[in-house]
Amino acid sequence: MTRVAITGMGVVSAIGTDVATFRRALLEGAGGLRPPEGLDEVPKGITVVGQVRGFDAEARLGKDRLPLLDPFAQFGLAAADEAIAMAGLDLRADPAAGQRTACIIGTGGAGIATLQDGFTRLFKEGKTRVNPFTVPRYMGNAACSHVTMAHGITGPAFAVTSACASANHAIGLGVHMVRSGMVDRAVVGGTDALVNFGNLKAWEALRVVSRDTCRPFSKDRTGMVVGEGAGVFVLEAWEAAAARGAPVLAEMAGFGMSADAGDITFPSVDGAARAVRACLDDAGLAPDQVDYINAHGTATMANDATEAKVIAAVFGERAATVPVSSTKSFHGHGLGAAGGLELVACVVALQEGFIPATLNFTAPDPDCPLDVVPNTGRAAALQTALSSSFAFGGLNAVLAVRRAG
């Protein structure tokens, strides 16, 4: 079976708008959850968000592109630009290579900011027209399409939407495309820009948003914190990457997915556990060969307790000792971008020999008997990591990544 290398990655997040800054924040334990800024109105009860700050869209993408780009597409395109540059690719200079490249970008909310702007004009300001670029800005495939146009990618290209499993599904599909020989490489990941009044109001209405901050697996956790951003990767056939002297950041070792076919919002132990086991089987890993789990870890009461049961079901006696952390405590719940942000964290962990902390932890929860790496990251010899995404709608996607070498 063809091995799949990660040769580039890019990130936009609340803890950094490039990989170097994101890496430093993880290593230093510097979280990015803050009160929202720059919004005309903030829903009552929303006190902190994982908001992207300091992102200069015009400097990163050029002034001429911006009228066609909703923020979710801006984040996705900027992250893709960084990943492709890191991989040392120039697909426009090689049209044949562009034809052998796939692009799959996941999103949960797509261009919700553009829709909110249009609705504000119509229903609040009494205008009779909306931005003429509303449709191409809000459509779910916008980020993917702009990445293909910017980089001359003419192979298979599409968007994936499966709530907060979107990025993991996109990455996993790219793994299978490269493995099968359908393409030589794939640009994959997820993006969302959801720190706006309408989306925050919708999440607040579910009564799952934290009153203070994100403290996954802690006994006194009060809910999730909405985040945003993008995480995008270049995946390549291992031999092809080696032949051109590309940097290999890590190996994509496996991918598993499942559907709960249960409740639209309440997670299932059985459904999520099947996705984890499918990922381990695909990677050829035994449970005792997993060195670190980047958990879904949303900090809601139901999700964290269920995820602890999933880990117990799959890992048995090791469940209490395998290191588990949720980097959502750093950058918030990126929703459609979550798996992309968290895979960047896994690659950094493998490269640095360092397990990121679960920030804001205060007290162990008997329902979550895990080693959650509380508050302070730790050095560790890591060879393999899992990254789990368990989405509303019962759609589960889990990635396994192995240290390069």
Q: Which residues are marked as active site?
A: 164, 296, 333
Rounded CA-CA distance 193/70 in Å is 8
Look up tokens 């390069």; give the residue. Answer: 404
Quote the Cα angle for 387-305-266, to 5°: 85
Provide the β-strand partners of residue 8. 234
Rounded CA-CA distance 350/354 in Å is 7
Provide the β-strand partners of residue 252. 4, 401
Q: Which two tokens stand for residue 134?
A: 């509303």
Q: Are 324 and 368 in contact (CB under 8 A)?
A: no
Three-state secondary-structure class, residue 226: strand
Rounded CA-CA distance 352/372 in Å is 19
Q: Are 384 and 323 in contact (CB under 8 A)?
A: no
Query: Strands, E, within 310-349: which ranges?
Result: 324-325
Amino acid at 174: G
Rounded CA-CA distance 232/109 in Å is 17
Could you tell me which of 321, 316, 303 has the C-alpha nearest to residue 217?
303
Three-state secondary-structure class, residue 357: coil
- C-alpha dist (Å) from residue 377 to 28, 271, 333: 8, 30, 20
Rounded CA-CA distance 146/140 in Å is 11
Q: Are 19 and 82 in contact (CB under 8 A)?
A: yes
